[in-house]
Structures are given as structure tokens and as C-alpha cells.
Structure 1
Amino acid sequence: MKKVKKYLSMILAGILVTGLLTACSSGKTEVATAGDTAGTSSTPDATASNDTTKDSGDSVQELNLRATAFGNNYDVQDMGWRWMMAECYEGLLRDVGGADGDKFELAGAESIDVSEDGLTYTFHLRQNAKWSDGKPVTANDYKYGWDRLLDPNKGYSYAAFIFNVVGAEEYYNGKGSLDDVAIKALDDYTFEVKLKVADPTFESKLVATPLYPTRQDIAEAAGDNWGKDWKLSVYNGPYILSDLVEDNKMVWTKNPNYWDAANVKLEKVNWFDIAEDATAATMFDNGQLDVINGSGDYLKKYDEEASAGKIQSLSTQYPGTVMLGYEFKNGGESGLMKNVNIRKAISYSINRDEMVGAVYGRYTPAYGLIAPAITFNEKSYRAQTEEPISAEYKEYAGDKAKLQELFQKGLDELGVKTPISDVKIVLLTSGSSTQNQTEREYLKQSIEQNLGIKVELNTVGDSSLFTSERDAFHFDIMITGWWSDYNDPLDYLDIFRTGVYHSYGLYSNKDYDALLDSLTGLKDTTKRFEVYQQLENKLLLEDCAAAPLYYSDNHFYIQNWVKDFNTSSFGASQEVYHTSISGK
């Protein structure tokens, strides 16, 4: 066995810049000890040499933050609430953002051994790690959590994360026994996992909440209420969820039993459910909120305040891509979405640069699927290969005649005699905010004006209604997206595998699936990179399986009395583990 000290390729999302700028540089390959905060967090750029805020040892260590929804899922294996779970719970590793990008810190694991063939991982757990009720966090808690993830009766969607573990996929599919799954608690503080084939993406998945530990006695006592009633939970992270008023306020308090409690400065974190940006901005201006994620017209206002040193700013890329999805099962309500030229005409009718400026005032126009925040070989994947549809998009962009000719070509190929002016397609969207409304109206107007067709809006109020309409195939196109769960291009590409996700219109291509399969056990990074390129090109350029619109980012603005606030890409989006209040 060899001791692993530096082995993870890290995402670089936590680049600190002022104002609207986002930047991209190499991430660090590093695993640090979480208790050693040197180099693991950073103070946002206040551009504030004129900041005269005095440090004060007697500041109340209480932070006020905004959420737009609290969710109702407290089951870590279900991945339902990552931004909360990554602070109140803890896995083997922790994703923490800093000035040099995100890095993985050793968290529940004190050290990790990997066999020379890359098949056996041995995690040596911290013997001082405890749950919030004072009981030790043991290897059996990790084993139970991973076994639970694979339980075929529970049907967790993230079980596939560990299908490469010996016996795991067979057990999940009802063709094997749990006893044959190579997930073992060798003793109270030694957790061992054996893989079928070496997997370059495995380590990146270890920060994902489905691989967090779960207390067997607590979960089984809760029964069907596990994950639904927050009062039944116990926590092993820096904070405890201590109070919740639905659609109003959530409170975290410091976990006194956390193994690194000495380095947790905040005594309380208050989350307020605030739907409207204007309300949140007013509360931030009045000092009632300590942090705000800016958008639209507020970006300019807060950039100016940050430049003047009145507040701090923190801008980062984020591993998310928003896109239009197509309905492949029936070809949509119109029956037209089965044709690639019609799909391309719709995609190319949308001016991404204009859209991000007019609708959002932020984000980066997308002509590829994989976001710039995703790294490969410690560099942004996006910086190493051009976006697949960029060149072809430019051939059509803004040219109504060419776009309509492309659309008509698709109609001819389908044998449809309906004039373009009589064609109607249905756009499925959700949300009632001003930005939601502006977004769908922009898309409707762009497609109608450039293609000469009609777009009917199927607008629903929330995500559950959206899912119902999507699953009933009441759409031709829909606004969808993917926010990556681990730092590798594969996490984007695998969502389009046949049968994996309903969210992307039931796209299916056997050649695409075969390319994905060729990556199994492939450790050669040059060859993996080439396959990733082929997959993204086939998906977007050849098949137009989706129409990428923009890549996500974060623009946080922070009161000057907040110190060491960070963001992470695969853990808590607002990372407050090392945050403190000084001089308020």
C-alpha cells in the first residue's frame, strides 16, 4: 500500500476577482488537514485598503444568510440538500474553496491508503470524530451509509456512484448479495473499499453527500420518517440544524461535539427564506443580511460599492450549465423534435451573448456542455478544447433566412407539409420570479422572430409541477440544466447515457453509450481526454441532444465585518466553516 498525500485533481472555481470578472487557472492537487486552516480559505477581495472596520474580539458570532428554498430532505444518501448537508454533515473528505480554487481536505478520514493497482482504498478514520449526540463516528456508519445507498428497495438515484465497487451493481440490481459487496468495516476506525477496475473519477466522488456516513440505529428507528423530519437527525459536521420554520427561517448552531470545533468560530447561522431579489437587496443594504449572491441590476450597484471598499466581493465560476432540452420520446407535442436540423435551428436561433446580458447581467454564454469550472489534469477542461457548436452556431447566428432554411429542411425530412408560420412548439418552464418571466419571454421571442414559428408557454409554478409536466411529455423544449456532482467531465457526459435521467428528454444513442463504456478502467489521461471530446461533439454537434445556453457562476457580496467567507463547488455553495464576525 502507498500513503496518499497528494492525489486529487481539484476544481478551480474559487478564483477571487472583483466585480463581474471571472477567471480560470490551474487547480491544486492537494489533500490538506481540515484543522490546518492555512491556505485553505481566503478573505474575499474588498478592494478595501480604505476599510477602517475595527477588529473586535467581542463581536457576536452570528451570520445571516439568504436561501430561496429550504427543501425537505435530510437523507444524505438522497443528495437532496447538498448546500446544507455539506455543513451539518461530513464525509471522508471536504470540499473547501479558497484563493487558489477548491481543494479536498481530509475530514472524516485522517489518512487514506491506495493499493498500487488502484483497486483497494483503505480509509483510516479520525478517532475523535463524534456525532452531535456524543457517540463516535465509526467505520460501520460509513459502511451502513454505502450499503443503504445500494439497497435495491430504496432506489437511490446516486447508487451508480459506487457501481464500480465489487459486488455493488449486482446487489443493487437484485442479482447479488450484500455479503458480496466489497465495502468493509475492518474495525471501528478502518473502512475499506475494493473496486472492480481502477477509476480516475472515484476520489472526486468522495465529497458527495451520498457517500457520507449514516447512523444505523437512528435511521432505522426513524423508519419512513428518516430524511423527512429534521428533528430525528443527528449530525457529524461543524453545525447542527437546531430550528426550522418552513418557508421562513432555518437556524444552525455550532456542533460542540465536532472534532474540529476549536476552529469553528460561528455560534449561529440564520438562514432566511427570501424569494425576491429586491427584498434580499434591501435586507443586505440594511445590514440584516451579511451575504448576498448578486444578479441583474444589482451587480453594477454592488460592484461599485465593493470598489469603494464599502463591502467585499467574491466572484467564482460554478460547475453548472443551463440548457434547452428536447423531447425525444414522441418528438414533443409537435412531433418535430426527432429531427436534428429542427433541433439545431431552435438552438442557433438563440443569441447567447445577448441573452446573458439582457436577462441575467451575468453568466458566460455556453456553446458546449461541460462548464469551465470542471478541470481535467488540473486545468479547466473548457480551456483545453473548443466548444463543439461554436463554429456552426456562428454560421447561422442572426441570419433569419439561413435559420428558417435549416428549420424547413427538417420539416422536409419529416415529410411535414405545414407552413413554417403555422408550426407551433411548446416551451416548458417554471418559476414566478421576474427573472424567470424575463427568461422565458426572451426565449419565446427569439425563437419566434428568428424561425417564424409560434411558441406556446407551458409555465408551472414550482419544481414538482415542472417534473409532472416533463414526465407526462407535455413539451417540445424545456429549460433544464446540470450542476455537477463531482469534478470530472464524465459527470456531465454520463447524464445522457440511455436510461440514466428523464430530465434530458430520453435521448438515446447506442454509439454514444459505447463510447461511454470505453472509459471503464481507462487510466490513460490522453485517451480519456480524446473520448471526452468525441462524446461532447457527438452529443451537441452531431445529435444536438441539448442546446447549452450559459455556464453558471457566483457573484457574492459580503459585509466588511464578515471574515473568511468562501464558496465551494461540490460542497456547501456558501462555505462558512472557517467564517467569523469581527467589528460589526
Structure 2
Amino acid sequence: MMKRKLKASALFMVMVLLLTGCYAKLPDIENHTLDDAYRSDAVVYNTLYASEVTNLNYLVTSSPVDTVITANVIDALVDYDNEGNIVPGLAESWECTEDMCTWVFHLRNGIKWVDYEGNVYGEVVADDWVAAAEYVNNAANETDCQYMYCTGSVVKGAQEYYDYTRSLLHPEEYDVKPKKVEPSDIGVMAYDDKTLIYKLDKPCPFFLSVLSYTSYLPVSRKYLKSSGTMFGKDYKNVLYNGAYILHYFQPLEKQILVKNPNYWDRDKVYIDRVENVYDSEAATIGVERYEEGLIDKAVVSADKLERYLSMRFHSDEIHGTIPDCSYSYFYVFNFAPSYNEENEPENWRKAVVNENFRKAIMCSIDREEALSVYEPYDPGKLVNNTVTPPGAISIDGKDYTKFGKLGYYTGRDSYNRNDARIYRDLAKRQLNEAGVTFPIKILMPYNPSVVGWKQEVFTIKKQLEHSLGTDFIEVVVEAGSDTGFLNAVQRSGKFSFMKCRWGADYEDPKTWTEPFEEEDDYSFWHQCEDEKVKEVCEIWEKQKDNASEITDDENLRFEAFAEAERLILDHAIVVPFSIMIGDGYVMDKINEFEREYSSYGIAKQRYKGCHLYEDSMDMEEYQKAYKEWAHIEDEEE
């Protein structure tokens, strides 16, 4: 069992200061309003990190590296409990009209904006969300998360205002100049200081689930205006309303988050201070630093897991992490290749439109073997049989992947060598008639900066060639650029068959259809001229659009989306692969089952609700806690 944490925090601080050599740069802890966070018995969570925050202006960034700060210092209208249920946040209540086009939020009392030293700047009011909407949708601010106002949930006037402001900056992009739109035309308004209203262009049953994204976080209009271009440039030029305040931040050195004494829900904040020390070698030295008692969390890499588990001290502290269903990984077939002639793109173009050929590849991939690169002990827990991961969305306890005929795929493994060879033989006769030459070159690039991807690709190359024969296919593995891989390879169509990923933007099946929509840069199947592929694409579009129109019955909506997803699996347009591994195995003195949980947005990055324990859980303790959290009952013997 885990024990309560009784930690000599003062001694630890001295040790860290000596090790990091940053004593002179720490904030002045003698003259500020945050004394409780620095007292000798304060509860302090210490970590290392290797990827630095690039932007503290939360209105323009959605990068997970940046939002790990944002999530803890800025609260949203809604929160999540530790099981993923939406609960009141800065809004204590809300209601919507019957058509779900107007949403009204009532703010709680006592919400304060404070500066980095904890001094109260003012009250959080409804206009703070109006100011945020105007800022995010102004193209001059170059936010990377503006799309959340027009994807899924469509806020009135938001895209029109963005297009108008962009046309002022880039008139050459518009054949017809957009009509003038004022900021006040955006459908976000403050009825009074405590009442916020969103007006949408169409019904949106999942609107609450978009509200914890950075683009829907509040900002003080007065502070934003006075800060000008300095807003978010450093920790001193941001206001805070969340559980923590970023009290100190020196890039490539240290981040210090302290408990906000003016936080509206401070009784649920159990860690007084979070200290994150930068080290580019964090992944390498983390376990050693944990063993020395200098940090409270270390990620254990897959290649060292077996060795550490054989050592008593480490084995008593190592455990897994919650499977991360916020992202889905899948292999896509490129129906519009644009790579060099040496890899025979035209031959691939003829081959890929053959459904039996695609199914032969689908049935040849042993995903558990490929995923053992990342999870050597239980790779099966990462396998995903559908595009939408199990656990990502549910209604009344029923998972989306169990709706309709999609459930057929949820419980089955597509890997079957006998089926693969049957499909190969059927395809070969058809491909001969189509003028395809053999072996068919399959260009499979990988990003060399992603740990394990190279080994994964070579594993799948071996599987495909062994299953289908090198006289039928030749898998060409190629390292892509380790910088700008997405644009240089995926979006440019420089692949035949490649692993891609997609993450949920909100809690609805529609979000998982976006990689396959007309302007997608995944499979490019809308550009395919083959009649059979075009027919499947058109049917899918109709099914997806019909599902989107169902807003008054969530069960019918889920059924309809499940049928659309089943269609692309039936025709092997995509090969589902895995969910995200997340942190994998860790030593961590925080119990992650206590923190907020959501398969989308930034909520699960919060420390609120977490206690700090003396020890990390071991494997057995973790499995027991996981089963309780996931409501999994042990099978009767």
C-alpha cells in the first residue's frame, strides 16, 4: 500500500540548488504573497523535463509542451472529474436552448485574476471569454487553435471574422474579398458580468467538450490591451486564475508552479509547489535522479524496463500508466502518390485501388509484435482495431466502438496470414490484368526522431514480405526528415503506406472522421480516379453527413457514425494500429487516478486533485488501482 508523504522539502531544495547551480536565479521567497508554498513543510513535487515551453500565450498555442503549464494556471468554464465526466468549472451552471444553438453559462462568484506574485488584479468576468474569442479569431494573432471555433462546433461569425481579418493581411489569397465583419459579430457575448452566451450556427450536442481547449480560455480584456505584444512573452506578462501560478520560469533552467492562494477551489489542491528542472538528458538520467531522491517522477524507457524490473528497489516503484486513447495511430494507403520515379508511384497507384491487395496487407500485419518495440510486456493493450479508440467516447456506459456493426472489429484481430495469402492470390490475377508489375514497391518512410519508429517499420517490412512474398511486394523503408516530417512527407504524399495519427478535438464521433474528409492530407482518397474507390468515398461522405445531422438522439447519432467508420474498415481504406503509449512505464509518487481525466483537451495535464505519496506504486498496486478506476471486475476462477 502507498504511504503518506513526509518529505524533508527544505533539505531537498538545498540539494537541487547545489546540483543545478541556479540558486542566485530563484525568486525572492522573503518578500511575496505566496509564503505557504515555500514553508519548510510544503508539499513539493519535483520533476525533470527535456522539452521546453515555447509560448506562454495560451490563446495562440495548443502544443502539449506549452499546455502542461496552461492547464495548471488557467481554468476553463468546465472541469472533469477523475473518470472523465464533465463537471462545473468557472461556470457553476449552464443551459442550452432546445435546438442546442444557444448556450448560456453562469459564472461562479469569487474568481480572481492574479499576477505571478499572487497579487489580485481583478475579477474574472464574462467579457473575458468575449475578449478571448475576438483575439483567437483575429488572423493577425496567428493562433494555431482558431479552428476550434469552426470545427464541429461552429460559433456564429467566428470564421467570417477570421477570413475578413486574414484578407486584410493576405488579399492575394482571396478571389472575392470577404465582407467586413466586426469583432462584435462573433457569437460570444456577455449578458452581464456573470452570464456568458455562445451562439452557434448549427446544433452542437457536444459543445461542452470543446470548452477546455486553449482557444476557449478566458483573458482579461483590460490586461490584454495594456500588455500589447508583451502578453505571454514571459511568466510576468500573464494573469492566472487556475490552481497554480507560474511564479518563476527561466527557459532551459527551471519552472516553479505554486498553489494559488486566491483559487476558488483551493481545498482540492494538495500539492503546494511543483518544481520542474530542465535537463536535455532527462529521459536518460531520470531513473538515477529518482533513486537519489531528487525527483518524484521518472519515465522508464522500454529498452531498460526488463533490467530495472530485475532490481528490487526499482521493481517496487515501477508501474504502468493509463492507456492514452486521446490519439489513434493507423496505417494509411496513399491513393495519390507523389514521390520519386525510382519507387514507381504509377505502379503503386494501379495497385492500391485493388481492395484485395489492401486487405492482403491489412491481414499481414501482426500489430502486437510491432508494438512490442514500445510495450514489451503487454503490447496487446495498445492494439486498436478501429479508427476511434475504445474508451474515447461513450454514452451511458456503452462505448462508441460497440455501436452498430463496428463492434465486429472491436473484438477481432485483422492479422491472419492465411487470409492474407488468399487476398494476395485474388489480387495478383486482377493486378496482372490492370498492368501492374511485380514486385510492387511499397515506400514506407519513418521519422528518425521518433524513438522506436524505425524498428517498428522494419518489423512490419519483415512481416509483409514474409507473408506475401518478395516476388509480390518489395517494401522500401526510408528515413524522412527529422525536422518538418509532417509537411515534408505526409502532407506532400511522399509515401505509399505509412503510419499516421489523429487526436480527438471534442467528445463526439465526428472528430474521428476528419482525417478522411475531402481536404485530408492522409490517404488522399478523394483524389483517386478509380470508380470503386470513388463509390466507397461517396457513400462514406453521405453516411458521415447524415450522421452529423442527427442531433436530437445521441444513440442514433453514434449508430450512424459507427456505420460510416465500419465502411472504411470493410474496404480496407485504412489499417487501424494502436493507441498512444503515453508515458509507458514510470516511477511516480503521484497517483494518476486522482487527477482530472479526459481523452481530449488539456484537463488531464492538471495537478489539481493529486496527492503526493512517499512511494510510487508497484505493478501489482497499479493494476489493482487501475481496475478500480476502470470498473473492471476480476474474472471468476
Whether the TM-score (by the shorter chain) exceeds 0.5 is yes
Contact 1:141-1:213 at 8 Å conserved across structures: yes
How large is the Cα RMSD of the aligned pairs?
Answer: 3.7
CA distance 1:196–1:462, change in 2 (3 Å): same
Q: Cα deviation per residue 1:478-498 (whole Å; 9 max; x = unaligned)?
A: 322122232222221233221
Structure 1 distance, partners of 2:544, 2:339, is: 27
Q: Cα deviation per residue 1:362-419 (whole Å; 9 max; x = unaligned)?
A: 4421221111121221322234454565799647436663354366367446532x22
Answering whether residue 558 of structure 2 is matched by residue 529 of structure 1, we say yes
Amino acid at match of 2:452: Q
Which residue of 319, 322, 325 corresponds with 2:332? 325
The unaligned stretches of length 5 or more in structure 1 are: 1-47
CA distance 1:375–1:523, change in 2 (3 Å): same
Q: Find the counterpart in structure 2 of residue 94 from structure 1.
A: 79
Amino acid at match of 1:575: R
Matches within 5 A, 1:3-22: none
Which residue of 461, 468, 476 corresponds with 1:456? 476
Q: Cα deviation per residue 1:494-543 (whole Å; 9 max; x = unaligned)?
A: 332212x53x243433433333322235221232122111211122322x
| Superposition deviation, residue 426 in structure 1 | 2.3
Amino acid at match of 2:607: V
Which residue of 88, 100, 106 corresponds with 1:118? 100
Q: Find the counterpart in structure 2 of residue 428 from structure 1.
A: 445
Contact 1:540-1:547 at 8 Å conserved across structures: yes
Which residue of 438, 442, 454 corresponds with 2:455? 438
| Superposition deviation, residue 173 in structure 1 | 4.5
Q: Cα deviation per residue 1:152-186 (whole Å; 9 max; x = unaligned)?
A: 55473333247533344444444563443321111
Which residue of 492, 498, 502 corresponds with 2:512? 492
Structure 1 distance, partners of 2:446, 2:257, is: 33
Contact 2:78-2:208 at 8 Å conserved across structures: no
Structure 2 distance, partners of 1:371, 1:387, is: 12
- Counterpart of 1:143 in 2: which secondary structure? helix
| Superposition deviation, residue 189 in structure 1 | 2.0
| Superposition deviation, residue 213 in structure 1 | 1.3
- Counterpart of 1:532 in 2: which secondary structure? helix
Tell me the percent identity: 22
Contact 2:152-2:204 at 8 Å conserved across structures: no
| Superposition deviation, residue 131 in structure 1 | 2.2
| Superposition deviation, residue 427 in structure 1 | 1.9
Number of residue-to-residue matches in the alignment: 527
Q: Find the counterpart in structure 2 of residue 279 from structure 1.
A: 285
CA distance 1:398–1:471, change in 2 (3 Å): same
| Superposition deviation, residue 144 in structure 1 | 1.8
Structure 2 distance, partners of 1:53, 1:249, is: 23
Q: Indicate the structure whose relative CO is greater, using CA pairs within 8 Å and at least 6 residues apart.
A: 1
Contact 2:359-2:420 at 8 Å conserved across structures: no
- Counterpart of 1:112 in 2: which secondary structure? strand
Structure 2 distance, partners of 1:245, 1:190, is: 38
Matches within 5 A, 1:54-453: 59-67=41-49, 69-77=51-59, 78-81=61-64, 82-97=67-82, 101-133=83-115, 134-151=121-138, 154=142, 156-161=146-151, 163-174=153-164, 177=181, 178-219=183-224, 232-246=237-251, 249-271=254-276, 272=278, 277-294=283-300, 296=302, 310-311=316-317, 313=319, 315-319=321-325, 320-330=327-337, 334-335=345-346, 336=348, 338-341=352-355, 342-361=357-376, 362=379, 363-379=381-397, 380-384=399-403, 386=406, 394=414, 396-397=416-417, 401-402=421-422, 404-405=424-425, 408=428, 411-412=431-432, 414-416=434-436, 418-420=437-439, 423-432=440-449, 434-451=451-468, 452=470, 453=473
- Counterpart of 1:128 in 2: which secondary structure? coil
Structure 2 distance, partners of 1:533, 1:103, is: 22
Contact 2:328-2:502 at 8 Å conserved across structures: yes
| Superposition deviation, residue 62 in structure 1 | 1.6
CA distance 1:388–1:277, change in 2 (3 Å): farther
Point out the structure with the larger strand share: 1
Structure 2 distance, partners of 1:513, 1:407, is: 26
Q: Find the counterpart in structure 2 of residue 15 from structure 1.
A: none
| Superposition deviation, residue 122 in structure 1 | 1.2
Higher Rg of the two aligned structures: 2
- Counterpart of 1:207 in 2: which secondary structure? coil
Structure 2 distance, partners of 1:563, 1:573, is: 9
CA distance 1:531–1:251, change in 2 (3 Å): same
Amino acid at match of 1:280: G
Q: Cα deviation per residue 1:213-257 (whole Å; 9 max; x = unaligned)?
A: 133445456666656655533332222334445456433233344
Amino acid at match of 1:478: M
Contact 2:354-2:431 at 8 Å conserved across structures: no
Structure 2 distance, partners of 1:103, 1:556, is: 26
Contact 2:259-2:269 at 8 Å conserved across structures: yes
Structure 1 distance, partners of 2:579, 2:477, is: 24
Q: Find the counterpart in structure 2 of residue 551 from structure 1.
A: 579
Structure 2 distance, partners of 1:256, 1:413, is: 74
TM-score (structure 1 length as normaliser)? 0.78
- Counterpart of 2:203 in 1: which secondary structure? coil
| Superposition deviation, residue 572 in structure 1 | 4.2
Structure 2 distance, partners of 1:149, 1:488, is: 23
| Superposition deviation, residue 275 in structure 1 | 5.8
- Counterpart of 2:302 in 1: which secondary structure? coil
Contact 1:240-1:254 at 8 Å conserved across structures: yes
| Superposition deviation, residue 93 in structure 1 | 0.9
Contact 1:95-1:207 at 8 Å conserved across structures: no
Structure 2 distance, partners of 1:267, 1:86, is: 16
CA distance 1:54–1:250, change in 2 (3 Å): closer
Point out the structure with the larger helix share: 2
CA distance 1:306–1:165, change in 2 (3 Å): farther
- Counterpart of 2:114 in 1: which secondary structure? coil
Contact 1:375-1:489 at 8 Å conserved across structures: yes
- Counterpart of 1:135 in 2: which secondary structure? strand
Answering whether residue 608 of structure 2 is matched by residue 577 of structure 1, we say yes
Contact 2:333-2:573 at 8 Å conserved across structures: yes
Between stretches 377-386 and 533-542, larger displacement belongs to 377-386
CA distance 1:375–1:466, change in 2 (3 Å): closer
